[in-house]
Chain A
Amino acid sequence: MTQVSRDEPSATLRGLRDDERQMTVEAYFERFSWQPRSPDPRRMTPEQFFVALDDAAFD
């Protein structure tokens, strides 16, 4: 999976294939299940959230 950054979408998009370049950044994130650098607890499943809580993953 192409590593992308929300901070530099244009730079990321330059490295994409033509069809991928037509997508918006948000759609790209959606399509490739982009994971944010800091996990969003509200979007995690309950099990993922509590595992992360125990593992200090939000630090």
Chain B
Amino acid sequence: MTLAAFEANSSTYAPPSSGAGLRLHDRSDEELDGLSFGVICLARDGVIRRYNLAEARFARLDRAQVLGRHFFQEIAPCTATPGFQGKVDAFLAAGSRSSERFEYVFHFRFGAQLVDVELVSSANPDEIYICINRRKSSPLSEDVPSEILAAAQSDLAPNETELGVLRDEDGRRRVRLSPIVFEALAHALDDEHWATVCDGWGFSWGRLATVDIETEVILSLDSLLRDLPMSTAVDTVVRYLRREGWGQLTVDFAPARQGLMVLELERNALAEALGAATAPRCHLLSGFFRAIFSHLAGRRVQVGEVSCRTQGADRCTFAVAGARRADQLAAALAEASGDMAVLLASMGRAR
């Protein structure tokens, strides 16, 4: 993959390749977190310097507990072999400026993962980037010695619950956040700032959530989101929002004739926290959906909230259109003032 392709697809899944062009060294942590394959930066001595979100998700480890530790000894003893560490050491010793690819099997306590590994040189000669593309997951074989299994989160930070640290079943840290936080934020921002801040915040959240959803699909279905039928791909988003407590999302494809996909979110946690309003207030979710569906589409899409529970509607309704129709969607939203029939008619006339 060329650098240009990498930049163009930085929010979408693509297997690493042609490492010389990647220049991962120049990429920010935010950019690496937008990738759906694992990226680890190791110092020459094997200490982990960078560890992206996808790798943390696949390995069920908290990045905060991984950075600064020795990869081969503390995090992934299953890689302390001539077939992995030996290749890394040889790559660094040779001062290679190209890349090298090989296949490997990671052994975690929760199962095995068949992966493609690509070693990529860094601008810093004392470090190396390792790109890891999951191909298949399977149950752990009984004959794998326990001492070579990769670390579990509980190994890295034992007894952390006594310090008020909560984690989910995948080792991710959780914070129980009351929706009154959103109410408090709304009080702190005027309407203009609320819209701008929440839309941008929601978009960033959606980009990171796509990594979460994508990794789940790879592990559970051995597929990529982009290869699933639209109904199955959308179901992953529905499940994500339900699991996180945001409410029940339904997706209506019928308005495709008017160039739209319509999303309805029942019992929206955000809207219920915000109270009454005269205009739609769920910019956070509009931004989230924009990121999620842009990732799915492999192109930019536009999202606008048609009507909102804060306005007295029984649910929040969002319209999704291709970016080419963004202006039409904005005009139709303004004309409709919450009336879906008017919105559809307006979009239909603009075809």
Contacts and interface: CB of A to CB of B under 8 A. Distances in A.
Interface of A: 41-54, 56, 58-59
B297 A50 contact: yes
A56 to B, nearest CB: 6
Contact of B259 (A42, A45, A46, A53): A53
A49 B230 contact: yes
B207 to A, nearest CB: 16
B257 A44 contact: no
A38 to B, nearest CB: 9
23 contacts: A41-B230, A41-B253, A43-B229, A44-B229, A44-B230, A45-B226, A45-B230, A46-B297, A46-B298, A47-B298, A48-B230, A49-B256, A50-B297, A51-B299, A53-B321, A54-B299, A54-B322, A54-B324, A54-B325, A56-B259, A56-B351, A58-B256, A59-B257
B227 interface: yes
Contact of A46 (B225, B321, B323, B325): B225
B301 interface: yes
A46 B253 contact: no
A41 B301 CA distance: 16
Interface string B275-293: 0000000000000000001
Interface residues of B, number: 26
A41 to B, nearest CB: 4
B336 interface: no
A55 to B, nearest CB: 9
A46 B230 contact: yes
Given A41-B253, A54-B324, A46 B231 contact: no
A31 to B, nearest CB: 18
Q: Which 10 A-B pairs have the closest CB atoms?
A: A50-B297, A54-B322, A46-B296, A42-B231, A58-B256, A41-B253, A49-B230, A47-B298, A58-B257, A54-B324
Nearest to A48: B230
B261 interface: yes
A4 B97 CA distance: 56
Nearest to A42: B231
A58 B348 CA distance: 11
B326 to A, nearest CB: 11
| Most-contacted residue by chain B among A43, A47, A48 (CB, 10 A) | A47
Interface in B190-238: 225-231, 233
A44 B229 CA distance: 5
Contacts of B259: 53-54, 56, 58
Contacts of A44: 229-230
A53 B228 contact: no
Nearest to A44: B230
Contacts of A48: 230
B178 to A, nearest CB: 34
B256 A53 contact: yes
A43 B297 contact: no
